[in-house]
Amino acid sequence: MSETRENGIGAAVRRKEDNRFLTGEGRYLDDINLHNQAYACFVRSPHAHARINGIDKSEAESAEGVIAVFTGEDLAADGIGGLICGWGITSKNGEPHKAPPHPALAQGKVRYVGDHVAIVIAETPEQAKSAADLVDVDYEELPPVVNIADALAPGAPQIHDEAPGNECYDWEIGDKAATDEAFAKASHVTRLEIVNNRLVPNPMEPRAALADYDPGTDMLTLYTTSQNPHVARLILSAFVGLAPEHKLRVIAPDVGGGFGSKIFVYAEETVVAWAARKIRRPVKWTCERTEAFLCDAHGRDHVTTAELALDDEGHFLGLRVSTKANLGAYLSTFSTAVPTYLYATLLNGQYKMGAIYAEVQAGFTNTAPVDAYRGAGRPEATYVVERIVERAARDLNIPPEEIRKRNFIPPDAFPYETPVIMTYDSGNYQLAMDKANELIDRAGFPARRAESEARGKLRGLGYAAYIEACGIAPSAAVGSLGAGVGLWESAQVRFNPTGSVTIHTGSHSHGQGHETTFAQIVSDRLGIPIENIDVIHGDTGTVPFGMGTYGSRSLAVGGSALMKAVDKIVEKGKKIAAHLMEAAVEDVEHNNGVFSVAGTDKQVTMAEVAFAAYVPHNYPEDLEPGLDETAFYDPLNFTFPAGTHIAEVEVDPQTGKVDIVNWVAVDDFGNIINPMIVEGQVHGGIAQGIGQALLENTVYDAETGQLLTASYMDYTMPRADDLPSFNVETTNTPCPHNPLGVKGCGEAGAIAAPAALMNAITDALGVEIDMPATPEKVWRAAQSAQARAAE
């Protein structure tokens, strides 16, 4: 990878997929229509918690255009199972986590506003929606509980019979005794109470499903907005029981963003697929935005107490963390893993942390299910570590960059085993910090602060030196931790006789640019012009089984599978080339699509080899025709992207408005295939992190359990004028254990940004506040700080 080839690895190739997206020719789910399709609308619970004493669907059934109305009884009668959670967590006491039933349509009870009660199918969307209002559900309201602390307190309303006290699990990790010992000998302890606010992922394309049953082949096809169509097929087949796996085809076409929320198997897609076979017509459902707020899996929602033990020089002796995690009303597909193995295993940060002990109590509430959202556990961990480190620096009067420097794992200490089961593979944390300090002009900050002060403004600087575990994940490792699946990836490189290439990948692009990045890898390695390479994904009918895209895994795992397939192509190609050049295989060398015989001028191109493979008139006797190789790659370890983000803010104490005046991000993603795409991923991640810290919050009314932030009128999405431009750079310590040396870049921004921004705001204010730092909250804090100063 020393030189960058045109359109090869390292080049900022403009995206192949953009042509269709920019001209209106993308095919998102709602753009697809099938002959004779009917439309579905879901009847949803208006109550947060209620018993269903009866459902009268007669009026709806006789409404104009209505084809069918189904309830949970109908699903049960057909033997359709509930939705599952695919990761088992073992509590401190050795018991498995509580896994109450999660019926796709309610059975006797509803547990959050928006819970699915019935499906109405009609000739038009309007008719379905009108008729849904006519389904008469006899609800007996029960008291709801929406906050996790309340739900886990004695006497809280009981949500599931199977989960006494609303507890799902009470889990721990780390060494309690060693941590207690560290605290006993500490000269200073910093303590922090932290709320990690609940977020709604909000990809701009709402979820949708379109199902079609073909009685001739007994094939059920589900078009759905999925980040992982094979995983959806596996769950819908093996656990829900919709159809045998080979009789179920799941297609995820162009998908308009996911951020985690389209990983999961939801009630709507499940019921729509079942109903299409039931009524023998295609059924389409498109989510409205308010439905998305109510029913898409939410993210975060932790309440944490953290304590950091330090010696008098600011070295980190121990970290103690106690977190309560809100999982919502039911367990979403990977919900249990997020506040445990994706969270507490990253509490070590970038530091030599003497000892760590973390406990997580997760429970049920009358709110939408909570699962992975961009970063999934790792933003929560970074927020705990980087807030408390910054707080400790202030307590001990050590500059924040200095306290980090004293504790960073040094570059020669890798592989580095943490007290919370991770083995970091590579990194150079001080390098990223130094570069970030230079870019933000750390030295000039005091002068800038004084200048702000002269204008009556408060200036603050905040750091986040984050680490994440990406490239999810080694199958044996996650299996031992409770995962129900393996987390390898597949790739297929299929040469066509004329020398063009079709790549199939089991990962899935919903904005990340696989069609370009994956083509770059093959172009670079096999010398095929990028315009002659197509990348196909998202269809279980055509693509080898793959695990999909989440956890910044596509390139580290899917790209590695692609490299393995490329290697197989080269290996076979050498045999064919040797035959064509009448040379011994061991004398054939390959470089960028040209096979040559060492020490001669003989050479054949990849295109000639491909042609010979498909028209094998002159071909090795013992070799199969064709040039089409599939590979599976199971990673040896997670990858550990890390870096430093610094936010600089100016706060107006008169209005509480926070201006982000500068943002520097220095990330180590290992090797980079397409720097343009990587930068874009970082920008988007930072924007979502800033959204969490400054604007976004999901609010349920504590009395009624109603979602008060269920539209863009109430839930503050970051808009162009809320955000600055970002100063984004990288460092590179290549990943030592995958063939591309890549680490993953999709989540870094969302992981680093909240801590960096809140550290900057609290630096400016001199007092702690929780996210989101709305003008009201900031104004109140500024007023109280000024009042205190005046005393």
Partner 1 sequence: MPTVTMTVNGKQVSADIDPRTLLADFIRVNLDLTGTHIGCDTSQCGACTILVNGDAVKSCTMLAVQADGAEVTTIEGLAENGEMHPMQAAFKEHHGLQCGFCTPGMVMSAIDLVKRHPNPDEATIREELDGNICRCTGYHNIVKAVKAAADATGG
Binding interface with partner 1 (CB under 8 A): 14-15, 17-28, 30-31, 202-206, 254-257, 259, 288-290, 510-513, 676-677, 679-681, 683-688, 711-713, 717-721, 723, 725-726, 749
Q: Kindly state the smallest distance separating residue 517's Cβ from partner 1, in Å.
A: 12
CB of 124 to partner 1, least distance (A): 9
Closest separation in Å from C-beta 32 to partner 1: 9
Residue among 226, 249, 236 at smallest CA distance from 548: 226
User: Burial level of 545, CB count in 10 A (0-12/13-18/19+)?
Assistant: middle
Start-to-end CA distance of the chain, whole Å, equals 63
Shortest Å, Cβ 739 to partner 1: 26
| Closer Cβ to partner 1, 654 or 711, answer by number | 711
Strands in 501-505's sheet, in edge-to-edge order, are 533-536, 501-505, 489-495, 628-633
Q: What are phi and psi of 258, to 5 degrees?
A: -140, -60
72 vs 201, which CB is nearer to partner 1? 201
Q: Where are the alpha helices (DSSP H) in 462-591?
A: 475-480, 514-526, 560-580
Angle CA 408–325–377, to nearest 5: 40
> Helix (H, G, I), strand (E, B), or coil: what is residue 400?
helix
- Judged by beta carbon, residue 699 or residue 785, the one nearer partner 1 is 699
Q: Which residues pair with 645 in a beta bridge?
A: 464, 665
Please give, one letter per residue, the 3-state secondary structure of 354-394: CEEEEEEEEECCCCCCECCCCCCCHHHHHHHHHHHHHHHHH
Rank residues 537 and 572 by Cβ distance to partner 1 and give the closer one. 537
If the CB atoms of residues 581 and 676 are measured against partner 1, the closer one turns out to be 676
Is the CA virtual torsion 540, 541, 544, 545 positive or negative? positive
Burial 696-728 (b: 16+ CB within 10 A, else e): bbbebeeebbbbebbeeeebbebeeeebbebeb
Could you say which DSSP state residue 444 is in? G
Closest approach of Cβ 206 to partner 1, in Å?
7
Q: Is the CB of residue 138 less than 8 Å from the CB of residue 325?
A: no
- Minimum distance of partner 1 from residue 34's CB (angstroms): 14
Containing 553, the helix (H) or strand (E) segment is none
Min dist. Cβ of residue 676 to partner 1 (A): 5
User: Which of residues 361 and 520 has its CB atom nearest to partner 1 in the complex?
Assistant: 520
8 Å CB contact between 260 and 510: no
Minimum distance from residue 233 beta carbon to partner 1 (Å): 22
Q: Which is nearer to partner 1, 307 or 648 (CB)?
A: 648
Minimum CB separation from partner 1 for residue 439, in Å? 16
- Which CB sits closer to partner 1, 719 or 788? 719
Give dist(CA 242, CA 270) in Å, integer.
Answer: 8
- Kindly state the smallest distance separating residue 444's Cβ from partner 1, in Å: 22
Which residues in 107-119 are b (16+ Cβ under 10 Å) and which e?
bebbbbbbbbbbb
Q: Which of 49, 111, 101, 37 is nearest to 75 (CA)?
A: 101
- Nearer to partner 1 by Cβ, of 177 and 713: the residue is 713
DSSP symbols for 104-137? SS-SSEE-STT-EEEEEEESSHHHHHHHHTT-EE
Considering the complex, what minimum distance in angstroms separates the CB of residue 657 from partner 1? 15
